[in-house]
């Protein structure tokens, strides 16, 4: 990724921060992002301290004007844009018959519309530049499965995966690669919130996962790097990185 410019949305913590750091290690100029200017800049500062090139830019991905500003910030700072990682996301849980309409809307706004908004703004830029580009959408294995009290999140993430296919098909003629990365359980604040409200714990997740553990932030960053690289003929694909969770139907390990 030497000399390429990448925006990583939601890179003030967790998976997005790990992706931003990994891309910077590979020589990319990275625009880190958060809803807060301070948190975006703190992530960028860490990258610069480690010898990388980064600038922080605040934007709520569910606000289209702010998203256009994010792409403009990349272009102003680094002269262009090559890669977008749509990682920002959140979840609000509750029984589907009671989930507040504004909570449903908030999850769909950030987790699905935010992905479209950022892709739209970056896609325009890629097409104008005429040199292609790569979009990596961080969805979730929960886009392939149902989980209690997660209607908005599961629906939004499923939507992201089919948005990935649609944009990949539509923008292939511009050499724009679009793929999803669908993580399984990775230890971050979102997972802790999920475990608290879903009624299962670390051991339950380890037992349910064929590889017997959570995935790591570094592993997710490696997957994102592969999908961002545009040297692999892979587009319109969903890379599920879940330690075998979705391959495994149900039951004991057979002892």
- Chain contacts with ligand NAP (rule: CB under 6 A): 9-16, 33-36, 39, 60-62, 87-90, 110, 138, 140, 183, 185-186, 188-191
* Choice between 127 and 225, CB closer to ligand NAP: 225
| Catalytic hit among 64, 116, 117, 153 | 153
Question: What residues pair up with 55 in beta bridges, in sequence order?
Answer: 31
Q: Count Cα neighbours of 235 within 13 Å in the Cβ-side half-sphere.
A: 21
CA dihedral 139, 145, 146, 149 (to 10 degrees): -30
Of 61 and 178, nearer to ligand NAP (C-beta) is 61
- Smallest distance from ligand NAP to CB 130, Å: 29
Three-state DSSP class for residue 201: coil
Active-site residue flag, 200: no
Q: What are phi and psi of 46, to 5 degrees?
A: -60, -40
Quick one: tokens of 243? 């330690």
CA dihedral for 124, 127, 128, 129, sign (positive or negative): positive
119 C-beta neighbours (distance < 10 Å), count: 23
Token representation of residue 103: 């909570």
Give kind and range of the element (H or E) at residue 193.
helix 189-198
Q: Are 136 and 182 in contact (CB under 8 A)?
A: no
- Shortest distance, CB of residue 233 to ligand NAP, whole angstroms? 25
What are residue 138's DSSP bridge partners? 181
The structure tokens 């908004």 sit at: 117
Find the shortest distance in angstroms from Cβ 28 to ligand NAP. 18
Nearer to ligand NAP, 90 or 174 (CB): 90
**Beta carbon of residue 3, minimum distance to ligand NAP (angstroms, whole number):** 25
> How far apart are the C-alpha atoms of 35 and 49, rounded to whole Å?
22
Q: For ligand NAP, which is the closer residue by CB, 2 or 197?
A: 197
* Cα dihedral value 124, 127, 133, 136, nearest 10: 30
Nearer to ligand NAP, 9 or 132 (CB): 9
Query: Which residue numbers are catalytic?
Result: 153
């Amino acid at each position: 990724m030497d000399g390429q410019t990448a925006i990583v949305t939601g890179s003030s913590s967790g998976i997005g921060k790990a992706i931003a750091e990994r891309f910077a290690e590979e020589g990319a100029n990275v625009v880190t992002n958060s809803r807060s200017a301070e948190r975006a800049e703190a992530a960028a500062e860490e990258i610069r301290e480690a010898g990388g090139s980064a600038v922080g830019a605040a934007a709520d991905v569910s606000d289209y004007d702010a998203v256009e500003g994010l792409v403009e910030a990349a272009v102003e700072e680094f002269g262009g844009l090559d890669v977008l990682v749509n990682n920002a996301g959140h979840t609000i849980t509750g029984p589907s018959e009671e989930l507040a309409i504004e909570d449903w809307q908030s999850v769909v706004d950030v987790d699905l519309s935010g992905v479209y908004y950022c892709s739209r703004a970056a896609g325009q830029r890629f097409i104008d530049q005429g040199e292609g580009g790569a979009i990596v959408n961080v969805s979730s294995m929960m886009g392939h499965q149902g989980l209690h009290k997660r209607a908005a999140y599961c629906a939004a993430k499923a939507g992201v995966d089919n948005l990935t296919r649609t944009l990949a098909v539509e923008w292939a003629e511009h050499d724009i690669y679009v793929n999803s990365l669908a993580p399984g359980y990775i230890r971050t604040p979102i997972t802790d919130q999920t475990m608290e409200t879903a009624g299962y714990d670390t051991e339950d997740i380890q037992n349910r996962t064929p590889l017997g553990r959570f995935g790591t932030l570094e592993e997710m960053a490696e997957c994102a790097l592969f999908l961002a690289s545009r040297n692999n003929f892979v587009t319109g694909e969903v890379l599920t990185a879940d330690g075998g969770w979705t391959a495994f139907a149900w039951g004991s390990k057979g002892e």
